[in-house]
Chain A
Amino acid sequence: MKRRYLLVLAAAAIGLPLAAIAAAGSPERAAILAEYATRARAADPGFSGFSMQRGEALFRGSFSGGDARTPSCMSCHTADPRQPGRNAKTGRPIDPVAVSVDPRRYTDAAQVDKHFARDCKSVLGRDCTALERGDYITFMAGQ
């Protein structure tokens, strides 16, 4: 309780809308989003919050800069993140990544960081920015 309260204060201090905390649903996820918000603002002072729509566009987009086996996040996570996916390179099944199916998603900072770095490189040929990461989690938190 106390921790959540502190996070709300921290988020308010950096100007993250309180609605974003509610959307985040867990203090751990809120902390990850708050960190990305700080970095997004540092990169662009005009940053005004994360967007579910931009997150969905990243998730559904098709890109050519990365590994030919994975032009899209959907290549492994499928078009419906509530469904199990499959690794397009190795064939290994992947559990659903939507928060409504697995509330532990996007709560372990090390796991989240590792997968953004690895998966974005695979799809886009580069890491995702803090803005893209925050948008993506915001989209997944609503799925």
Chain B
Amino acid sequence: MPMRLLMALAAILLAGLPAVSQAGGKQVAPVADPLTQKVCGECHLAFPPGFLPARSWSALMADLSDHFGEEIVLPAGQAAQIEAYLVSHAGDAPGGGGLREFMRWVAPTGIPRRITENPAFLREHDFPDRVWRDPKVVTRSNCLACHPGASRGWFDD
């Protein structure tokens, strides 16, 4: 058995969390804009813009007073600056960090506000309930709990 696979298995046994596959996969363009990183990386991973279409980012940025129950208050101008960055790097942006697999599932008129409801996400993350109830995970959107390299765009190690 290759060493890496052994270590992945050991990680499952030790941590109780599924080990992320060590093979294949490619980097997802991480957030490279410092303002977006600072503001949108405060409470959770600054999610790579390629996971949602442009209209989703616009909808999220238009509704900062009720962001999943949080109120995000920003100095004038910052919201527009962040939106411009997210939109131009969205999954459906021309030449953007397009994640084909994720965009394929977004209905032409759909405006998803969560990455974690995308069928492509759900299929990759079809784990038993006890995994999601692990106190280190808390919620599906806590990518960093299982993908330590997520801030750099790595979701396969």
A88 within 8 A of B: yes
- Closest A residue to B141 by beta carbon equals A90
Does A89 contact B135, Cβ atoms closer than 8 Å? no
> Which of the residues B136, B139, B144 comes within 8 Å of A89, measured between beta carbons?
B139
Interface string of A80-123 (1 = CB under 8 A from B): 00000011111110000000000000000000000000100110
A30 to chain B, nearest CB (A): 28
Per the CB 8 Å criterion, the residue count for chain B at the interface is: 15
Verify A90–B69 contact, CB threshold 8 A: no
A114 to B137, CA, bound (A): 26
Q: A86-B135, A86-B138 are in contact. Are A92 and B71 (CB under 8 A)?
A: no
> Are the CB atoms of A88 and B69 closer together than 8 Å?
no
- Is B39 in the interface zone, CB < 8 Å from A? no
- Tell which of B68, B71, B141 touches A121, judged by Cβ atoms closer than 8 Å: B71
Identify which of B71, B136, B138 contacts A88 (C-beta below 8 A): B138
Where chain B touches its partner, the secondary structure class is loop
Question: What's the minimum C-beta distance from B133 to chain A, rounded to whole angstroms?
Answer: 12
Partner of A92 from B44, B68, B69, B70 at Cβ < 8 Å: B44
Q: Specify the main secondary structure of chain A where it touches its partner.
A: loop
User: Does A56 make an interface contact (CB < 8 A)?
Assistant: no
Measured CA separation A69–B139 after assembly (Å): 11
Q: Does B81 contact A (CB under 8 A)?
A: no
B138→A91 contact, CB < 8 A: yes
The bracket for how many chain A residues form the interface is: 10 to 19
Check B68 against A89 for contact (C-beta < 8 Å): yes
Task: Give Cα A122 to B69, complex, Å.
Answer: 9
Rounded to whole Å, the gap between the CB of A89 and the closest CB of chain B is 7
Are A91 and B136 in contact, with the CB atoms below 8 A?
A: yes
A28 at the interface (CB under 8 A from B): no
Which one, B43, B69, B136, B138, contacts A67 given CB within 8 A? B69
Q: Is B20 an interface residue (CB 8 A)?
A: no
Contact A91 B68 (CB under 8 A): no
What 1/0 mask marks residues of chain B from 122 to 149 whose CB sits below 8 Å from any chain A CB? 0000000000000111110110110000
Set of chain A residues within 8 Å of B44, measured between Cβ atoms: 87, 90-92
Scoring A86, A87, A89, A118 by chain B CB atoms within 10 A of each residue's CB, the highest score goes to: A89
**Contacts A/B (CB < 8 Å), 19 sampled:** A67-B69, A86-B135, A86-B136, A86-B138, A87-B138, A89-B43, A89-B69, A89-B70, A89-B138, A90-B44, A90-B138, A90-B142, A91-B136, A91-B137, A91-B139, A91-B144, A92-B44, A92-B142, A92-B144
Given contacts A90-B43, A91-B142, 18 further A-B contacts (CB under 8 A): A67-B69, A86-B138, A87-B43, A87-B44, A88-B138, A89-B43, A89-B70, A89-B138, A90-B44, A90-B138, A90-B139, A90-B142, A91-B136, A91-B139, A91-B145, A92-B144, A118-B70, A118-B71
B→A interface (CB under 8 Å): 43-44, 68-71, 135-139, 141-142, 144-145
